């Protein structure tokens, strides 16, 4: 079975786990497994994974899609590089309620991996911060979605777009 | 940093399963999985109802442990293997230089030294297969298009 590994990255509390939770409920029929290793406060420690299998038309084969979110806190940076090096594509979640420099520092961690692998940007929490046009411009020609993950807005679109970009990228071509 | 990309053929899987079969029958092992550092399950034994689900989880958790261990390894310069034991069972994981691993769960009645010996032997047999897989340049999704997915 072929498999795609997509990593959701961003600052702590940006909404990565909320994205995976929403996708887990929307794609209930595709879900194989979901687990989340968290602290008592609900913060991701290491494992936050949603595993799905998508049927390929005209084939008995299914495409396995593994979504993994990273522990967002700065102290986990040493383990993130291992996760990044294994990814086929990335979703970077921008938290507009936190300072842009902090968001860009987190985005910068992806730099060495995204020269050959696709990345889709999701500006989350637009239900709290209305205007995000200036933020969009920062990411240049990257695909950018606005979202409110806790309300499920923009989550599905973000996922389908990174999935499409990963498949079109071919990975390893 | 290189992009990690490989495609494992059915023939590769058969060969890997054969090595695992020998490992399982040589010593009393509850489950043996082969995965890669990204937590992708490649092969496992024994097969059976519900075992795939267990193998998937075992594989991801093993890879995560190895990922964390990799950081510790930078500090202690040790070999890439891991052992832990509970009340009734124990787990031994060995990673290859090609970044694939064998992870086994076994009863504490089985001697750790025996497990290490046979896992090392299995790893030596798998190494040429892993090398072949890594060196085989491939498009991971040949012929696959997004609109072919039933989503």
pLDDT tens by residue, B33-72: 999 888 888 999 998 878 888 999 999 889 888 887 776 6
Contact A33 B3 (CB under 8 A): no
What number of helices (H) and strands (E) belong to chain A?
Answer: 5, 7
The CATH number given to whatever domain includes residue B88 is: 3.30.450.30
Q: Is B124 in CB contact (< 8 Å) with chain A?
A: no
Residues of B in contact with A171 (CB under 8 A): 3, 5, 139-141
What's the total number of domains in chain B? 1
Inside any domain, residue B74: yes
- The percentage of chain A sitting over the pLDDT mark of 70, rounded to a whole number, equals 86
Tens digit of pLDDT for each residue in A81-139?
777 888 899 999 999 999 999 999 999 988 878 778 899 999 999 999 878 888 888 98
Peptide bond into B46 cis (omega under 30): yes
Q: Which residues of B97-133 are buried (b: 16+ CB within 10 A; e: fewer)?
A: ebbbbbbbbbeeebeeeebeebbeebbeebeebbeeb
Of B61, B138, B145, which has the smallest distance from its Cβ to A172's Cβ? B138
Residues of B in contact with A66 (CB under 8 A): 39-40
The boundaries of the domain holding residue B45 are: 10-135
Contact A167 B144 (CB under 8 A): yes
Contact A2 B145 (CB under 8 A): no
Inside any domain, residue B151: no
Inside any domain, residue B39: yes
Q: Which two tokens stand for residue B104?
A: 């086994």
What pLDDT score does B78 carry?
61
Give the Cβ contact number of residue B72 at 10 Å. Answer: 11
Inside any domain, residue B62: yes
Q: Report the alpha-carbon distance of residue B23 to residue B16 in Å, rounded.
A: 11
On the question of pLDDT at A172 being above 50, the answer is no
* Mean per-residue pLDDT over chain B, rounded: 84
Tens digit of pLDDT for each residue in A58-69?
888 889 999 988
- The percentage of chain B sitting over the pLDDT mark of 70, rounded to a whole number, equals 85
The CATH code for residues A3-169 is: 3.40.50.300
Confidence band for B82, pLDDT divided at 50, 70 and 90: confident
On the question of pLDDT at B3 being above 80, the answer is no
What kind and span of H or E run contains A169? Answer: helix A155-169
Inside any domain, residue B109: yes
């Amino acid at each position: 079975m072929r498999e795609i590994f997509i990593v959701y990255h961003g600052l702590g509390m940006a909404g990565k786990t909320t994205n995976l939770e929403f996708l887990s409920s929307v794609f209930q029929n595709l879900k194989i497994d979901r687990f989340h290793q968290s602290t008592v406060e609900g913060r991701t420690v290491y494992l936050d994974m949603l595993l799905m299998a998508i049927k390929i038309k005209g084939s008995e084969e299914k495409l396995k899609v593994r979504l993994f979110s990273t522990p967002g806190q700065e102290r986990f940076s040493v383990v993130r590089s291992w996760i990044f090096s294994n990814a086929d594509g990335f979703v970077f979640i921008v938290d507009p309620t936190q300072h842009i420099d902090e968001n860009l520092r987190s985005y910068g961690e992806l730099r060495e991996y995204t020269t050959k692998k696709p990345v889709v940007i999701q500006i989350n929490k637009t239900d709290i911060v209305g205007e995000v046009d200036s933020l969009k411009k920062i990411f240049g020609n990257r695909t950018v979605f606005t979202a409110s993950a806790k309300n499920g807005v923009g989550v599905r679109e973000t996922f389908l777009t990174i999935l499409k970009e990963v498949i079109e990228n071919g990975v390893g071509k | 940093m290189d992009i990690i990309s490989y495609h494992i053929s059915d023939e590769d899987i058969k060969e890997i399963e054969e090595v695992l079969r020998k490992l399982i029958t040589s010593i009393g092992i509850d489950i043996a999985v082969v995965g890669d550092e990204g937590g992708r399950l490649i092969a496992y034994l024994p097969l059976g109802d519900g075992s795939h689900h267990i193998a998937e989880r075992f594989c991801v958790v093993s890879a995560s442990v190895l990922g964390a261990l990799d950081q510790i390894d930078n500090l202690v310069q040790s070999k890439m293997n891991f052992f832990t034991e509970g009340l009734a069972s124990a787990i031994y994981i060995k990673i290859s230089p090609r970044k694939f691993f064998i992870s086994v769960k076994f009863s504490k009645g089985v001697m750790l030294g025996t497990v290490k010996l046979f896992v090392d032997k299995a790893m030596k047999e798998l190494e040429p297969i892993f090398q072949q897989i890594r060196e085989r340049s491939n498009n991971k999704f040949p012929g696959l298009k997004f609109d072919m997915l039933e989503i």
